[in-house]
């Protein structure tokens, strides 16, 4: 029976964000798919080094251990590899003790159609085009940047996520008024509509899921902390506060800048 993921925090992550596939990607770019596939098959027992998103994924998976017997998160590997060349990825996940058993392996096709099927709350990738396509499809997505220095893979003790407001948590409806008509018109519009909840943006579902998990974990020593950083200072901030109340979500910190 398939797992119902609607009450889970579901993170989709590309294999290149989870593990360091820099060399393998160079083979693909310079020599093509056949050479890449041959290399992966020949080295499928060679464990990959952690990638830039490894620490975050490991911390997210430990949320399943906070309340014994209550699984809260699922991580889905989203990759353009095929099943054959993906074995090295799962061997590496098993080596590091990552509780990952689900994947979308598309054999070169876009992964975007599978994000909705897996009920993905957040998609992380090292490929800018994949991230933009996911955002265009209404899925909260983030680009994993390669660090110029050695990345610290020590255990993350507290998961901290900061959100922007318009066009991120909320739709870009009000932002468009600001762009087209200026600040004065924007402030007047928000003042007149202060009691009307803002429409949801692409990251609203993620915030709601995080808020649900925070309530499950309780206030003391909560492993998740959220923040809102927005240019919506007074009086435009009132609509934001009332919208979050209407959604029934919590924000731990807010910065009106």
pLDDT value for 240: 93
CA distance 199 to 173: 8
Q: State pTM to two decimals.
A: 0.86
CA distance 94 to 75: 13
- Give the residue numbers marked as catalytic: 164
Q: Which residue from 192, 239, 247, 208 is spatially nearest to 6, judged by alpha carbons? A: 208
CA distance 250 to 257: 19
pLDDT value for 103: 93
Query: With a cut of 70, which residues of the chain have pLDDT below it?
Result: 1-6, 146-155
pLDDT value for 145: 78
The number of folded domains in the chain is: 2
pLDDT tens across 85-116, in order? 889 999 999 999 999 999 999 888 889 999 98
Enclosing domain of residue 115:
9-143
Cα–Cα distances in Å, from 107 out to 18, 88, 136? 18, 15, 22
Q: Judge if 24 and 139 occupy the same domain.
A: yes
CA distance 64 to 252: 22
* Three-state DSSP class for residue 218: coil
Count of beta carbons in the 10 Å neighbourhood of residue 28: 17
- CB of 224 closer than 8 Å to CB of 179: no
Q: Judge if 87 and 14 occupy the same domain.
A: yes
Q: Judge if 139 and 228 occupy the same domain.
A: no
* Within a domain: 154: no
Q: Which residue from 253, 45, 68, 62 is spatially nearest to 162, judged by alpha carbons? A: 253
Q: Judge if 85 and 172 occupy the same domain.
A: no
CA distance 16 to 18: 6
Q: Judge if 133 and 169 occupy the same domain.
A: no
Q: Judge if 176 and 71 occupy the same domain.
A: no
- CB of 228 closer than 8 Å to CB of 162: yes
Q: Judge if 86 and 128 occupy the same domain.
A: yes
């Amino acid at each position: 029976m398939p797992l119902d993921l609607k009450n889970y925090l579901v993170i989709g992550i590309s294999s290149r964000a989870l593990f360091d596939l820099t060399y393998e990607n160079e083979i693909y770019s310079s020599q093509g798919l056949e050479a890449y596939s041959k290399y992966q098959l020949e080295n499928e027992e060679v464990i990959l080094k952690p990638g830039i998103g490894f620490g975050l994924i490991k911390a997210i998976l430990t949320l399943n251990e906070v309340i014994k017997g209550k699984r809260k998160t699922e991580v889905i590997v989203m990759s353009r590899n095929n099943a054959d060349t993906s074995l090295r990825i799962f061997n590496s996940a098993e080596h590091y003790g990552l509780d990952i058993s689900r994947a979308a392996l598309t054999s070169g096709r876009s992964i975007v159609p599978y994000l909705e099927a897996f009920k993905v709350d957040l998609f992380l990738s090292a490929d800018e085009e994949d991230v933009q396509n996911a955002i265009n499809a209404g899925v909260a997505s983030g680009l994993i940047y390669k660090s110029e220095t050695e990345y610290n893979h020590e255990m993350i003790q507290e998961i901290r996520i900061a959100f922007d407001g318009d066009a991120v948590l909320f739709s870009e409806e009000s932002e468009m008024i600001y762009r087209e008509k200026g600040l004065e018109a924007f402030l007047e519009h928000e003042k007149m509509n202060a009691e009307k909840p803002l429409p949801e943006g692409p990251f609203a579902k993620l915030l709601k899921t995080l808020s649900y998990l925070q309530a499950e974990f309780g206030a003391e020593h909560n492993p998740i902390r959220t923040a809102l950083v927005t240019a919506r200072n007074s009086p435009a901030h009132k609509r934001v506060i009332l919208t979050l109340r209407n959604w029934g979500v919590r924000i731990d910190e807010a910065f009106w800048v």
